[in-house]
Amino acid sequence: MNHHLGQRRWVRQLTALAVGVLLSQTAPVLVQAQEEKTPYSKFIEYIEADQIETVKIYEKGKRAEFKLKDQKDNEKSLEVLLFNKNPELYGLLRDKKVDFEQIPDPGENPLFSILLQFFFVILIIFLFLVFLRRTAGSNSGPGQILNFGKSKARFQMESETGITFSDVAGIEEAKEDLQEVVTFLKQPERFTAVGARIPRGVLLIGPPGTGKTLLAKAVSGEAGVPFFSISGSEFVEMFVGVGASRVRDLFKKAKENAPCLVFIDEIDAVGRQRGAGIGGGNDEREQTLNQLLTEMDGFEGNTGIIIIAATNRPDILDTALLRPGRFDRQVTVDLPAFKGRLGILEVHSREKKISPQVSLETIARRTPGFSGAALANLLNEAAILTARRRKDAITELEVDDAIDRITIGLSMAPHLDSKKKWLIAYHEVGHALLETLLKDADPLNKVTILPRSGGVGGFSQPIYNEERVDSGLYTRAFIIDQITILLGGRAAEVEVFGESEVTIGASSDIKQVANLAREMVTQLGMSDLGYVALESGNGQDVFLGGDWGNRAEYSQEMAVQIDRQVRDIVMHCYEKARRMLRENRSLVDKLVEVLLERETVEGDEFRQIVVDYGQSVEKKPILPEPLPSLPLLS
């Protein structure tokens, strides 16, 4: 710190000196400019009147000194400022036979100007060297231009992440697998004594936001060993051979500090399949991957070095990277179930002021499919809304608004009273009523006509069945009911306003209907075509080693039958939706009146109105018993 302060002091002093020199050169000129000068016109009059005795012309200074004939010898010469070019002056002086001479400015020394320019060059070089010295100690910049082959891994002699397994919730199975890695690092003799080999690598696989990087930080915090962390993209540069050099340098440093932990985040950036795609892969990336494969399990052993890598794209990783001996363990970090979500909410709610009326269990049940990062963002959004509304603690209202904001979008200004508002109300009631009446559908959470960002005019929101979402087991009856509910909005528009007045508001619903119906026929074996998978649906890209394009896997005759089956399913559900809404038209009108008045109706209140009109509503638990498969077209 004192060194940099001294450098800055010297720079200020040199700058002040340079300014002083310039001022010293310009000061005489300024003084002279301030003295009284003879006007040029008066000077010409003196010449024409033949009153001038001698003239000294300083061309560089654009001035002249002259003496009049009637001046005494001890009197000071008069001075006049000249123009840039004065051809008529010299002619006039010759005509009047005035004695004149052209001389350089007194005291002007060319050597001084050269030295002054040289001084400024030295000053610029000195300032540039000071800048280089200040940047030499940083991780990037000119001071590190010759170190691009060195590893950019962040190194900590002892873990300072501040994160332990107690800060990680919702992924207990993954924590248990990684607990053994911590024991390997702390007490390797327990395993080597019985002939067990310490695993070389652990690959964390899971969707984004599930806590893979957090798990690696927790392992580092628990083990307390030297910790290297780097991203896969930092290995690859535009220079050929740099990536492989950085891999060698990383493992060299790791061997010097063994036992230690190396964490490579987003390893798919460097570990993609070799030779995939058209014309082969990137040679520099493949060289980097080859060097990584050799370092992990080549001729030399890496005793005491455990590598933890994370990715959400295991399907594109090279098979040589996944074999035992390199990544001995593949730990799946999946989306949390109900207990996992509850644990994550408990961890992230420690430092937030939450009202006692808020139930974390209720939030956990309402958020199936949420990752750990999404749950953390949910509580953060609720806290932001609480601060904006000037409340002391997070309430249920802020939690509900935060869930809607994340899943659907930002709330906008209410619709004005117009035909559009009525149409949206009938559309959403069509969804919500079918969701309430159909046996195998999820129960309604709420229905609203408040618009959301992204062009959402309103929505009908269900309470998702946690068991169904977590297991991924959907019955045929549930899918049929889902298609019927999706078509409920269009069916309500047709029943109330007529075919000619339908809008494009159901376009996204129709796309989902088409995807569901086609998947039932071509992939799930839920049609009269039999239990066959006619489309793979793998979605592989040709540049990742997949097949060219979307090749048809069936004949043209089968394609016609598939289209017919898809249309039959959709039309059956559409007619069913229209029939149910037609039979309950008075109930639909009543529900629309309530929705227009309140703009948002909760699920319990909606069901109570339906019951009051004489409709039986079966109570649908959040965790129902497994349902038997129903006929496709009932």
Q: Is the pLDDT of residue 624 over 60?
A: no
**Pairs from 58-67 (Cβ < 8 Å, separation ≥ 24):** 58/102, 58/103, 58/104, 58/105, 59/102, 60/104, 60/105, 60/108, 61/105
What's the confidence (pLDDT) of residue 579? Answer: 94
Amino acid sitting at position 187:
Q
Amino acid sitting at position 247:
V
Of 12-26, 58-72, 214-228, 325-339, give the lowest mean pLDDT range. 12-26
The Cα–Cα gap between 236 and 9 comes to 42
Q: Is the pLDDT of residue 250 over 90?
A: no
What's the confidence (pLDDT) of residue 634? Answer: 26
What's the confidence (pLDDT) of residue 27? Answer: 42
Residue 540 pLDDT grade (very low, low, confident, very high; cuts 50, 70, 90): very low
The Cα–Cα gap between 457 and 6 comes to 65
> pLDDT by residue (tens digit) across 559-570?
899 999 999 999
What's the confidence (pLDDT) of residue 68? Answer: 82
Copy the structure tokens of residue 405. 């904001």
Residue 151 pLDDT grade (very low, low, confident, very high; cuts 50, 70, 90): low
What's the confidence (pLDDT) of residue 547? Answer: 47
Task: Map out the domains of the chain with their CATH numbers.
Answer: 154-332 (3.40.50.300), 338-407 (1.10.8.60), 419-612 (1.20.58.760)
On whether the CB atoms of residues 372 and 214 are closer than 8 A, the answer is: yes
pLDDT (mean) for 592-596 = 91
On whether the CB atoms of residues 415 and 457 are closer than 8 A, the answer is: yes
Residue 71 pLDDT grade (very low, low, confident, very high; cuts 50, 70, 90): confident
pLDDT (mean) for 19-43 = 56
Copy the structure tokens of residue 350. 């420690």
pLDDT (mean) for 174-193 = 80
For residue 325, what are the CA distances in angstroms to 48, 57, 178, 187, 205? Answer: 108, 94, 17, 21, 18
What's the confidence (pLDDT) of residue 496? Answer: 92
The Cα–Cα gap between 376 and 352 comes to 11
pTM: 0.64
What's the confidence (pLDDT) of residue 432? Answer: 93
What's the confidence (pLDDT) of residue 550? Answer: 53
pLDDT (mean) for 296-323 = 81
Q: Is the pLDDT of residue 50 over 90?
A: no
What's the confidence (pLDDT) of residue 458? Answer: 86
Residue position matching structure tokens 């390893």: 267
58 Cβ neighbours under 8 A, 6+ residues apart: 64, 65, 102, 103, 104, 105
What's the confidence (pLDDT) of residue 155? Answer: 55
On whether the CB atoms of residues 581 and 495 are closer than 8 A, the answer is: yes
What's the confidence (pLDDT) of residue 519? Answer: 92
What's the confidence (pLDDT) of residue 538? Answer: 52
Q: Which residue among 266, 398, 428, 466 is the active-site one?
A: 428
Averaging pLDDT over each range in 52-61, 191-200, 598-607, which range is the top one?
598-607
Residue 520 pLDDT grade (very low, low, confident, very high; cuts 50, 70, 90): very high
On whether the CB atoms of residues 162 and 221 are closer than 8 A, the answer is: yes
> pLDDT by residue (tens digit) across 420-444?
889 999 999 999 999 999 988 888 9
> pLDDT by residue (tens digit) across 263-284?
888 888 888 887 655 444 456 7
Q: Is the pLDDT of residue 318 over 90?
A: no
Amino acid sitting at position 363:
I
In whole numbers, what is the pLDDT of the chain averaged over residues?
78
Of 179-188, 309-318, 571-580, give the lowest mean pLDDT range. 179-188
The Cα–Cα gap between 364 and 343 comes to 9
> pLDDT by residue (tens digit) across 79-93?
888 777 677 777 787
Torsion of CA 204, 210, 213, 215, to 10 degrees: -80
> pLDDT by residue (tens digit) across 330-347?
888 888 888 888 988 998
Q: Is the pLDDT of residue 144 over 50?
A: no
Instruction: Using alpha carbons only, give the angle 541, 546, 547 rounded to the nearest 5 degrees.
Output: 105
546 Cβ neighbours under 8 A, 6+ residues apart: 538, 540
> pLDDT by residue (tens digit) across 345-367?
998 888 899 999 999 988 988 88
* 35 assigned to active site: no
More confident residue, 477 or 135: 477
What's the confidence (pLDDT) of residue 591? Answer: 92
**Strands of 99-102's sheet in order across:** 78-81, 63-68, 52-58, 99-102
> pLDDT by residue (tens digit) across 434-473?
999 998 888 898 899 888 877 778 888 888 877 777 677 8
Q: What percentage of the chain's residues is helix, strand, coil (to nearest 5)? A: 50, 10, 35
- Going by their DSSP bridges, the two strands 63-68 and 78-81 should be labelled as antiparallel
What's the confidence (pLDDT) of residue 332? Answer: 86
What's the confidence (pLDDT) of residue 300? Answer: 64
β-sheet bridge partners, residue 524? none
300 Cβ neighbours under 8 A, 6+ residues apart: none
Question: Within 10 Å of residue 506's Cβ, how many Cβ atoms?
Answer: 22
